[in-house]
Amino acid sequence: MSSTPDLELLGADPGPDTLGGADVLVVGVRPGSDGADPVVAGPTSVLGDLAGELPGLVTLLGGSGKAEETTRVPTRGAIGAPLVLAVGLGQEPGDDAAAGETPDLAEQVRRAAGAAARALHGKAAHVVTTLAALDLAAAIEGTLLGDYAFTEYKKTPDTAPTELTRVGLVGDGDDAAVTRAATVARWVAAARDLVNTPPNDLYPDAFARRAQGLAESVGVTVEILDETQLAEGGFGGILGVGGGSSRPPRLVRLSYSPANPRTKVALVGKGITFDTGGISIKPAANMDHMTSDMSGAAGVVAATCLAADLGLDVEVVATVPMAENMPSGTAYRPGDVLAMYGGKTVEVLNTDAEGRLVLGDAIARACEDSPDYLLETSTLTGAQLVALGSRTPGVMGTDAFRDRVAAHAVAAGDGGWAMPLPDELRADLDSRVADLANVTNHRFGGMLVGGIFLREFVADGVPWVHLDIAGPAFNTGGPHGYTPKGGTGVPVRTIAAVLDDVARHG
């Protein structure tokens, strides 16, 4: 994982003498009413005599305060920093923020801090931000995640070598709050790194070993099952999907258990390290995006490590299937019947609906641990993007737990929308030769059908959620807010928020 810059609390209302040689002072602004100059949001004392002039200067330089807009304002020696970066927060959040129509204040701050960090990436080593006075944790998360860059495979990085090494935070808080927010951002970045690593270097065994190294660094216990052990254990879904690759599948089990946990949560994440579609092969266009088909697994690994790093009072057992879905003479075929872990049989009608097969095995195994809750996440269906777009995960499962998770997803900034699992769709998964088929014979409700299939493997009485992150886990467009192109780290923050909630309230 990349190093975290030094984070320093400067107080709620410091003067300009506290800038201490900063390269840039980041200030949030909102649009003025009726076309007036933008309005500075948060404390202005750090601006000194520049406070009254800044709104007019932002307007003069073309700024308006709209969300994520950045305007560079030279200070000409008026304060200790040579540059003010005014970043737009957008309009004040209103009553519609709770419904997701307008981001709430925390998400506005995250996005503004991320936009500022992206604008300054490679150009500033020491930044002071007044956004922390609006929401300390959000400002830290947005700054650190916006500054993220994956350059491991670049001989010459796109940006200048300047690294962000120090961030001054204007606002109230304590060192514990700062450390917690930075820890969350660091593990989101770890998930991004895993997703962005190309599949020739992150195949199942390599992924398993990477997960082991991350987990052991924070005291999480690790068990890795190889292909022989998977066969002995009856994991027919994982073996079926992974059988076409020369690089055999793995099942990784991570266990974090504090001294007196309040409750126990099972996490499951889809780890298809590359998905060609198998015999039902995908079109060539954009197949490179399938390096991200292990985003659910990356999120679960990172979230488990984050829970341990934060010392959350909840027992977490993660079950993470890892396989590469390839076409070959040993690949599984449409028409095959797989004997899944736990005894159910599945007729394969489409080998490109492989994620639900490895997850069926993993969910059945996870339920044997008798969890109080089960949360599974996966880049499961293209239908998620059709239904909800590229930034909003679909949340399905047990009604009460589903709604609880969806609320945390929105509050955390990952986004999420509760979706139904209509009973009438179950009959469309009936098979003529097996207990069920892996797809229906139509394209309607595809995201929901994926959830209904997974529900077949959840033990009775276990509150569970399926989080479909097919679009949100991997940004194929341009960067925005604190979200880079490529791996986004969704849904690490959602899972962490859920774990923290159940640790506190059961």
DSSP states of 442-476: S-TTHHHHHHHHHHTTSPTT--EEEEE-TTTTEE-
Query: Is residue 292 within 8 Å of 195, Cβ to Cβ?
Result: yes
Query: Is residue 225 within 8 Å of 250, Cβ to Cβ?
Result: yes
d(CA 8, CA 175) in angstroms, rounded, equals: 9
Burial class (CB in 10 A: 0-12, 13-18, 19+), 104: middle
Token reading at 500 = 């923290």
d(CA 154, CA 152) in angstroms, rounded, equals: 6
Residue with tokens 């500022």: 116
Query: Is residue 415 within 8 Å of 391, Cβ to Cβ?
Result: yes
**What b/e readout covers 151-163, taking b as 16+ CB neighbours within 10 angstroms?**
eeeeeeeeeeeee
d(CA 300, CA 318) in angstroms, rounded, equals: 7
Choosing from 209, 264, 282, 426, the catalytic residue is 282
d(CA 269, CA 248) in angstroms, rounded, equals: 18
Residues 6+ apart with CB under 8 A from 412: 493, 494, 496, 497
Catalytic (active site) residue 282: yes
Does 491 sit behind a cis peptide bond, omega within 30 degrees of 0 on the bond before it?
yes
Choosing from 247, 253, 356, 365, the catalytic residue is 356
Residues 6+ apart with CB under 8 A from 398: 463, 464, 465
Name the phi and psi angles at 41, rounded to 5.
-100, 130
427 by DSSP, 3-state: which?
A: helix
Does 479 sit behind a cis peptide bond, omega within 30 degrees of 0 on the bond before it?
no
Residue whose C-alpha is closest to residue 274's, from 299, 253, 244, 305: 244
d(CA 153, CA 102) in angstroms, rounded, equals: 37
Residues 6+ apart with CB under 8 A from 179: none
35 phi-psi bin (left φ>0, alpha ψ -120 to 50, beta other): left
Catalytic (active site) residue 356: yes
d(CA 428, CA 369) in angstroms, rounded, equals: 30
Residue with tokens 């690294």: 163
Active site residues: 282, 356
